Structure 1
Amino acid sequence: MTEQEIRAVLAVAMAYDNRKPGEATVAAWAEAAHRGRWAFTDAVEAVHAHFAESTAWLMPGHVTQRLRAMRSGPAAMAELLALPAGQPTAPERVRSIVDAVAGRMGWVRAVADPAALGVLDQACPHCHAGPGRPCTREIARGRRRGELVALAAPHPSRSRDLAAAHTSTGPEWTP
């Protein structure tokens, strides 16, 4: 969540209990939101639900507990019916359902598909996998010792070099 969203959640709480949040409060709630993986609309709903059922002073832990309870429960029928129609196993349908669930859970996609980024277009400086080939590692134990196995994701040095070449903003770049 952004700082503005944290301030908006605190404003909702302030409407109920007349709290006077300062910069330290915003920073503390932002840290709790990050650790609890809050989504803005769900966090606002959790604040409203807390004050509808409790007279206790609202703390970030209360919001996190309510969000976990909301996420662990079954999805509302309206949400299930709103899922896109189509072939049940079509890649586009699966992707849209995964994205919908990820949004509901407040998840953020960390790394995009390496092939889509062009990461595999260059040789890996770590394992020396050639262009177009996946990164590999050597098995160190067991009867398969010494065999090379493909990694699910490329080595960070392979994607870092590509990211540096495609951006001027540095570490803020997201695939």
Structure 2
Amino acid sequence: MDIQQTAQLLALIKVGDNRNVDRTVIAAWHDLVHDLPLDDALEAVRAHRRESTDYLLPAHVIAGVKRIRGARLAAAEPPLPDVDPDDVAAYQARRRRMLAQIASPSTLRQIGA
């Protein structure tokens, strides 16, 4: 997520709790959530608003994204890498990459396109 996307995330959050958002707040949040996909982070905010009255913190968004990615992985068929299973290191590396692709929201957009 880039800094403009972090600002977009905070705009959604601000609608829910009327918090003050300025460049300092955006930078502080960006430092903590920059590695999250925007689509998952936005959905994590929506889920938090549906499920909790707690003041939303970056930790809530991060935990929500982990739940979203975990659910995506749980719903998918276990990947079978197209690598020789006797080459354990290559097999495990390919499987990790496949799991990361399954968990990624951008992969779902490509599949659904």
**Short-chain TM bin:** 0.5 to 0.7
Q: What amino acid maps onto 1:13 in structure 2?
A: I
Alignment of 1:79-118 (within 5 A): 80=76, 89=82, 98=98, 100-101=101-102, 103-104=104-105
CA offsets 1:78-120 (integer angstroms, 9 cap, x no match): xx48xxxxxx739xxx8xx837336349xxxxxxxxxxxxxxx
- Which residue of the partner structure matches residue 56 of structure 2? 58
> What residue is the counterpart of 2:70 in the other structure?
72
Larger Rg: 1
Deviation at 1:72, TM superposition (A): 2.6
Determine which structure has greater relative contact order: mean sequence separation of CA pairs < 8 Å that are 6+ residues apart, divided by chain length: 2
- Where structure 1 has 5 or more consecutive residues not aligned to the other structure, the ranges are 82-87, 106-175
**What does residue 46 of structure 1 align with?**
44
Deviation at 1:76, TM superposition (A): 6.7
Q: Which residue of 2 aligns with 1:142?
A: none
Q: Distance in 2 between matches of 1:76 and 1:48?
A: 21
Residue of structure 2 in register with 1:32 after alignment = 32
Residue pairs, 1:88-167, within 5 angstroms: 89=82, 98=98, 100-101=101-102, 103-104=104-105
Report the TM-score when normalising by structure 2: 0.66
Which residue matches 2:89? none
Number of equivalences? 92
Q: Unpaired segments of 5 or more residues in structure 2?
A: 84-93, 107-113
TM-score, L = length of structure 1: 0.44
